[in-house]
Amino acid sequence: MKVRIGIGFGGFGGVAPGEFVALVDRLEKLEIDSLWLSEQLSQPAVAPFAGLGFALGRTSRLKVGMGVTILPGRNPVLVAKELASLASLAPRRVLPVFGLAPGRDADRSAYPVPAGRRAAVFDEALTVVRLLLSEPRVTFHGEFFDLDEIGLGERPARPLDLWLGGAAPAALRRIGRLGDGWLASLVSPERAAAGIAEIRASAADAGRHIDDDHYGLSLRLAFTPPDAETLAAVRRRDPRADPARLLPVGWAAARAAIAEYIAVGVTKFVVHPAIEPGGWPAFLDSFVAELAPLEN
């Protein structure tokens, strides 16, 4: 299985639009595998779809992913059209990952769905996106979306893999039923192993198969010990986990963490570094020396 390690411009290492252009160029020059853009609506960060289009158009080999973009509250026909256009312009370099809800509760109003129906809207919207990306014309009559003979025009020659985030039991079952891969976040190696097993079981129940190398992790990397607020947030996410394993500090700890996850079946990594403003160029140079050799 191929181990790949990309860079995330989100989480606690966000990149403002003013830094974006130079960093995209540097990622391409250093031959880093991939760039990942998180949906940070209220933060000074580049929006995923806009960032994908810019980065893909400016580079020739860099893969660009969404880690993650919120699907419920968006029109799935327009989402599918945007993905089809990006994939046609940059074949094999578009990596879509969808999530259920934004991390900040205050942002939820920007993604309107009927009360209590977010998960149901997600399932139906994802089904619509997949149908449109795989069939020339789609007729679909669901609870939330109603389509009659809708097509996208040109579709990707190679079907797009649609990965999903989330770690709750319902999210893992959804990945097995509807997704092509899992991008986890803040889960221990043990929880990652259990999640992979749950996804595989759900996929088998649905008569589906998810490739063995389609399990990934967003890994936060710090260079100073996390503060009390960060530790408390991690403990709320998983009270049983040791925060030191979820938030490696330094390159050696990051290599050790990646090895633990590879041992349980995770092969795709998105590293979100905590660095000071202006520290990205030095970080990327060190990344190439410290983590890129772990790829195979």
Of 218, 15, 268, 204, which Cα lies nearest the Cα of 99? 218
Per-residue tokens: 113: 């769905």
**How much is the pLDDT for 12?**
56
Q: For 107-156, what is each residue's pLDDT tens digit?
A: 999 999 999 999 999 999 999 999 999 999 999 999 999 999 999 998 98
Distance CA 174, CA 72 (A): 14
Per the CB < 8 A criterion, the answer to whether 4 and 291 are in contact is: no
Which amino acid is present at 1? M
* Average model confidence (pLDDT) across the chain: 94
Exposure string over 102-133, b if 16+ CB within 10 A, otherwise e: beeeebbeebebeeeebbebbbbbbbbbbbbb
Of 290, 123, 260, which Cα lies nearest the Cα of 191? 260
Beta strand 146-150 with 138-141: parallel, antiparallel or unpaired? antiparallel
pLDDT at 10 over 80: no
Distance CA 175, CA 33 (A): 24
**How much is the pLDDT for 233?**
81
Quick count: other Cβ atoms within 10 Å of Cβ 49?
Answer: 19
Q: For 232-243, what is each residue's pLDDT tens digit?
A: 888 887 788 888
Distance CA 97, CA 34 (A): 14
**How much is the pLDDT for 265?**
98
**How much is the pLDDT for 255?**
98
Quick count: other Cβ atoms within 10 Å of Cβ 98?
Answer: 25
SS (H, E, C) 8-77: ECCHHHCCCHHHHHHHHHHHHHCCCCEEEECCCCCCCCCCHHHHHHHHHHHCCCCEEEECCEECCCCCHH
Quick count: other Cβ atoms within 10 Å of Cβ 61?
Answer: 11
Give every strand in the sheet of 215-221, ordered side by side. Answer: 69-70, 97-99, 163-164, 181-185, 215-221, 268-273, 4-8, 34-37, 63-66, 94-95
pLDDT at 228 over 90: no
Q: What pTM, to 2 d.p., does this model score?
A: 0.95
pLDDT at 277 over 80: no
**How much is the pLDDT for 203?**
98
Q: For 152-210, what is each residue's pLDDT tens digit?
A: 998 988 889 999 999 999 999 999 999 999 999 999 999 999 999 999 999 999 999 99
Kindly state the percentage of the chain with pLDDT values over 70.
98
Q: For 36-71, what is each residue's pLDDT tens digit?
A: 999 988 888 899 999 999 999 999 999 999 989 999
Per-residue tokens: 84: 């089809």
Per-residue tokens: 127: 């089904």
Q: For 40-49, what is each residue's pLDDT tens digit?
A: 888 888 999 9
**How much is the pLDDT for 221?**
94
pLDDT at 14 over 80: no
Per-residue tokens: 46: 């580049």
**What does residue 232 show for φ and ψ, rounded to 5 degrees?**
-65, -40
Per-residue tokens: 140: 């679909």
Distance CA 234, CA 154 (A): 43
Quick count: other Cβ atoms within 10 Å of Cβ 201?
Answer: 13
pLDDT at 11 over 70: no
Q: For 72-110, what is each residue's pLDDT tens digit?
A: 999 999 999 999 999 999 999 999 999 999 988 889 999
